[in-house]
């Protein structure tokens, strides 16, 4: 496939006239275009159809006090082009509305509704404009507006008045589940419409764990905000931490020393495999193969112990910092890592052989929870769930960061989109990660582990992406004075992928829901923030 190119400024201006105002800043990572009005439907359609672009995220910013407007940002990427393309779109405070793209582009459904909830900007023409990020009993407040104080005390939550789409018909039942679930998992509400065993339709209610994270980013100095980034999604602490630090480094033009980039790469891969191996075990458990899970959780424990040995924390917290990593790579670490990886590799093969030997497991997983590639494309699915359904995306290859440009690795892509193949993607990725880790230990990592600290210049914007183990993590920041932030947008891959679960469960029996859900294993906290 040849690399695509985004349209030049002249090209856009010829097509859309005065709507396209000026070319914004450009760097290796991004290219901004300033738009004159809130209606970008034509430009977006042009980018998607003629330039093979994919929409990455949509988010807003309150710039009324500085520039007199709210802004919407539409971020795009293209296959083979490392630059992100960003449309910066003003919304007049008197109008407080913008035309919705969701009808044509379901991938932005929740993100546009977040803008409605958090900024009070109406997405006109949205097919389902109800609240998503704030539950129905929230008062009429918009927390990410600058005139809303983070400590504002709101009336207590009195219960949901949310109306689910009714399921009608003879023998059709609605089964409510959650937010407190039967297992040790995060809270969310699932409303199943079932006809006998098969699921007709699943409705989701998320944001039970919304804790004001994006607002809090605006109220912390940058060095403390790193810990907040690590707490966006507990099992992706290092990925979110790295995505955040990378955004700051790009905004402040801090050059991260090569040794730190290598350490980050190693730890990012360790995070990937400790989560993947746990998921493989959990998928096995959900179809009754608990022995496999016992071995998988033993392997996970082996890896988190290794994490602790090398970083002081089992979940790799407190290791990444702006400019690099907090502690140097010890001379013995290479040997420790190498030995652990060898041991893990051997036992991982045995685990997979065990799973492969179980016909009943395979029988339960194949053809279960199918997400077809065309649906996955329409819904904008990313990460493991996407790659099992033909979506060939991986930030490590598409927008290289850390030391990934020094490694070659295979990105597994399947077309079948069932639970079995979502597990296969994980198995393949663990094996690729093992190769990356082995290669990383072949070279000594010398030099500084962190760039010298210096003040962060205000009013700089930067976008950063990391391929967390779930998929594409995006952080976008605007720096403020005194080493603080004006805005930090966080997009966890889970936000993209919940609609995939809704799609995949249809027609499956309710007893298969846990394993289908587990095969995506999305982060509630990452979604809700």
Partner 1 sequence: MFKIIHQSIRTGIVTTTYPETPANVPPSFRGKPVFDFEGWLDARPAAEVCPTQAISVRDDGDHRTVTVDYGRCVFCGLCAEAGLDQAVRVTQEFELATRDRGHLILTAEYQLHPDGTQRQLLDSATREDDVETAGRAVHTAIHKLLGRSLAIRQIDAGSCNGCEIEIVALNNPIYDIERFGIHFVASPRHADMLLVTGPVTRNMELALLKTFRATPEPKVVVAVGACGISGGIFGENYASLGGVDKVLPVDVYIPGCPPRPQTLLHGILLAVGRLEQKQ
Q: What is the CA radius of gyration of the chain?
A: 23
CB of 458 to partner 1, least distance (A): 20
Vertex 74 angle, CA 382 and 236, to 5° = 40
What are the distances in angstroms from CA 360 to CA 19, 356, 365?
Answer: 59, 10, 9
Residue number, 240 or 421, with CB nearest to partner 1: 240
What's phi and psi for 460, nearest 5 deg?
A: -110, 140
Residue number, 143 or 499, with CB nearest to partner 1: 143
**Token duo for residue 276:** 């993947």
Residue number, 185 or 502, with CB nearest to partner 1: 185
Closest CA to 523 of 501, 493, 491: 493
Residue number, 22 or 357, with CB nearest to partner 1: 357
Residue number, 66 or 211, with CB nearest to partner 1: 211
Q: Which residues sit at the interface with partner 1, rule CB under 8 A?
A: 135, 141, 143, 148, 150-154, 156-159, 179-180, 182-187, 207-213, 215-216, 220, 223-224, 226-228, 231-235, 237, 291, 294-295, 297-298, 300-301, 304-305, 308-315, 317-318, 350, 353-354, 357, 523-525, 528
CB of 356 to partner 1, least distance (A): 10
Question: Please, where are the H alpha helices in 290-372?
Answer: 290-311, 333-356, 359-365
CB of 77 to partner 1, least distance (A): 27
CB of 463 to partner 1, least distance (A): 23
CB of 134 to partner 1, least distance (A): 8
DSSP for 393-451 reads --HHHHS--TTGGG--------SS-SHHHHHHHHHHHHHHHHHHHHHHTTS---S-SBP
CB of 100 to partner 1, least distance (A): 25
Residue number, 306 or 391, with CB nearest to partner 1: 306
Between CA 278 and CA 183 the distance in angstroms is 15
131: left (phi over 0), alpha (psi -120 to 50) or beta: beta
Q: How far is CA 408 from the centre of its chain?
A: 23
Pairing of strands 69-78, 54-63: antiparallel
CB of 305 to partner 1, least distance (A): 8
CB of 159 to partner 1, least distance (A): 6
Residue 285 CA neighbour count, 13 Å, CB half:
15
CB of 74 to partner 1, least distance (A): 26
Between CA 206 and CA 36 the distance in angstroms is 34
CB of 23 to partner 1, least distance (A): 38
Q: Residue count of the chain, please give it.
A: 529
**Token duo for residue 416:** 């079948």
CB of 235 to partner 1, least distance (A): 6
Closest CA to 393 of 379, 401, 382, 385: 382
Residue number, 76 or 498, with CB nearest to partner 1: 498
Q: How far is CA 185 from the centre of its chain?
A: 18
Residue number, 126 or 210, with CB nearest to partner 1: 210
Between CA 485 and CA 96 the distance in angstroms is 24
Residue number, 215 or 364, with CB nearest to partner 1: 215
Residue number, 117 or 503, with CB nearest to partner 1: 117
Q: Which residue carries 């856009």 as its tokens? A: 12
CB of 473 to partner 1, least distance (A): 14
Residue number, 66 or 350, with CB nearest to partner 1: 350
Which DSSP letter does residue 52 get? -
Residue number, 31 or 229, with CB nearest to partner 1: 229
Q: Note if the bond before 179 is cis, omega within 30 degrees.
A: yes
Residue number, 237 or 424, with CB nearest to partner 1: 237
CB of 181 to partner 1, least distance (A): 8
What are the distances in angstroms from CA 297 to CA 236, 308, 337, 346, 517?
Answer: 17, 16, 19, 15, 19
Q: Which residue carries 């033909």 as its tokens? A: 390
Instruction: Give the residues across from 54 on adjacent strands.
Output: 77
CB of 300 to partner 1, least distance (A): 7
Between CA 61 and CA 119 the distance in angstroms is 8
Residue number, 9 or 227, with CB nearest to partner 1: 227
Query: What is the enclosing helix (H) or strand (E) of 45?
Result: helix 41-50
Helix pair angle (333-356, 419-440), 10° resolution: 160
> Strand, coil or helix: what is 526?
helix
């Amino acid at each position: 496939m040849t690399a695509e190119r985004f349209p030049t400024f002249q090209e856009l201006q010829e097509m859309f006239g005065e709507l396209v105002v000026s070319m914004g800043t450009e760097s290796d990572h991004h290219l901004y275009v300033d738009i004159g009005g809130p209606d970008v439907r034509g430009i977006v359609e042009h980018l998607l159809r003629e330039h093979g672009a994919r929409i990455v995220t949509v988010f807003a910013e309150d710039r009324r006090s500085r520039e007199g407007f709210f802004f919407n940002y539409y971020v795009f990427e293209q296959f083979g082009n490392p630059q992100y393309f960003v449309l910066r779109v003003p919304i007049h405070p008197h109008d407080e509305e913008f035309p919705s793209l969701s009808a044509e582009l379901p991938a932005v459904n929740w993100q546009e509704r977040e803008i409605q909830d958090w900024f009070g900007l109406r997405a006109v023409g949205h097919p389902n404009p109800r609240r998503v990020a704030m539950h129905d009993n929230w008062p009429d407040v918009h927390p990410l507006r600058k005139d809303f104080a983070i400590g504002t005390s709101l009336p207590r939550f009195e219960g949901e008045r949310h109306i689910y789409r009714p399921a009608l018909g003879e023998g059709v039942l609605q089964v409510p589940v959650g937010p407190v679930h039967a297992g040790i998992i995060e809270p969310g509400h699932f409303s199943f419409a079932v006809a006998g065993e098969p699921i007709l339709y699943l409705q989701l209610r998320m944001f039970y764990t919304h804790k004001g994270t994006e607002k809090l980013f605006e109220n912390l100095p940058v060095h403390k905000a790193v810990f907040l980034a690590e707490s966006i999604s507990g099992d992706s602490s290092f990925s979110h931490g790295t995505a955040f630090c990378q955004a700051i480094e790009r905004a402040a033009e801090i050059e991260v020393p090569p040794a730190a980039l290598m350490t980050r790469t190693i730890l990012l891969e360790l995070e990937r495999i400790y989560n993947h191996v746990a998921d493989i075990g959990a998928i096995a458990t959900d179809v009754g193969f608990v022995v496999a899970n016992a071995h998988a959780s033993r392997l996970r424990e082996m890896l988190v112990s290794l994490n602790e040995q090398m970083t002081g924390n089992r979940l790799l917290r407190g290791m990444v910092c702006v400019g690099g990593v907090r502690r140097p790579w010890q001379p013995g670490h290479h040997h420790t890592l190498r030995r652990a990886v060898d041991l893990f590799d051997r036992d991982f093969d045995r685990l997979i052989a065990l799973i492969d030997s179980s016909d009943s497991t395979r029988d339960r997983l194949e053809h279960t929870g199918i997400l077809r590639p065309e649906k996955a494309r329409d819904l904008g699915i990313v990460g493991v769930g996407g790659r099992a359904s033909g979506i060939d995306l991986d930030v490590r290859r598409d927008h290289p960061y850390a030391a990934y440009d020094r490694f070659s690795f295979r990105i597994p892509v399947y077309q079948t989109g069932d639970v079995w193949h979502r597990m296969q993607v994980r198995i393949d990725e663990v094996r690729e990660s093992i190769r990356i880790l082995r290669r990383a230990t072949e070279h000594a990592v010398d030099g500084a582990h962190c760039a010298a600290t210096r003040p962060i210049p205000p009013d700089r914007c930067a976008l950063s992406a990391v391929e967390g183990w779930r998929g594409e993590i995006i952080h976008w920041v605007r720096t403020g004075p005194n080493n603080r932030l004006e805005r930090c947008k966080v997009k966890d891959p889970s936000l993209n992928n919940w609609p995939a679960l809704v799609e995949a469960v249809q027609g499956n029996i309710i007893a298969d829901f846990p394993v289908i859900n587990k095969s995506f294993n999305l982060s509630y906290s990452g979604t809700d923030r």
